[in-house]
């Protein structure tokens, strides 16, 4: 017998962090940026963040960058009763596309590296990853079950690859 969970849908844009109260399918397009999911199986609760730059060079510290995105996601789950040991993480994205407008060599790889280092420092186990290569990922994560569907795709919007971050 299956446990029926009704879910709504939410698209997680770059610079956003989402830990829904109700079961929700969280979707993201991750190209050079990285989507991070954290899931607590005991509480049947999870969330997602999406960042597009590894470190802040100047200006405000926002979830457009790895540390604020991942730390905020973890803190939201900690506030709901989870501990670092309860959580499992997955990383998606970090691809490279040398033909995309605004190409920044190594950006995808650096986004992944910083994400992995932050999760390690937080004591959160990295349970899986689908990163690198030349294809973007379209990801759908269910916040109440931890289930995830990932599609590697050739065609995404040009702005999904290397968004202009001058305003950051």
- pLDDT, one tens digit per residue, over 41-87 is 999 999 999 999 998 877 778 899 999 999 999 999 999 999 999 99
CATH number for region 27-156: 3.30.1330.200
pTM (predicted TM-score): 0.90
Side-chain half-sphere CA neighbours of 28 within 13 A:
33
Is the pLDDT reported for residue 168 higher than 50? no
- pLDDT mean across residues, the chain: 89
Name 129's bridge partners: 91
DSSP string, 35-70: EEEEEETTTTEEEEEEESBSS--SS---TTBHHHHH
- Domain positions in the chain are 27-156
């Amino acid at each position: 017998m299956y446990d029926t969970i009704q879910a709504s849908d939410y698209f997680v844009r770059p610079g956003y962090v989402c830990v829904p109260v109700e079961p929700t399918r969280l979707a993201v397009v991750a190209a050079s940026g990285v989507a991070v999911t954290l899931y607590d199986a005991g509480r049947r609760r999870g969330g997602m963040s999406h960042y597009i730059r590894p470190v802040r060079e100047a200006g405000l510290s926002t979830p457009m960058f790895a540390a604020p995105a991942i730390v905020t996601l973890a803190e939201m789950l900690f506030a709901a009763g989870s501990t670092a040991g309860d959580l499992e993480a997955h990383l998606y994205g970090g691809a490279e596309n040398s033909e995309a407008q605004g190409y920044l060599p190594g950006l995808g790889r650096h986004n992944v590296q910083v994400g992995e280092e932050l999760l390690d420092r937080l004591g959160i186990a990295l349970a899986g990853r689908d990163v690198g290569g030349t294809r973007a990922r379209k990801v759908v994560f269910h916040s109440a079950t931890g289930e995830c569907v990932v599609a590697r795709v050739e065609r995404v919007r040009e702005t999904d690859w290397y968004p202009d971050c001058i305003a950051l």
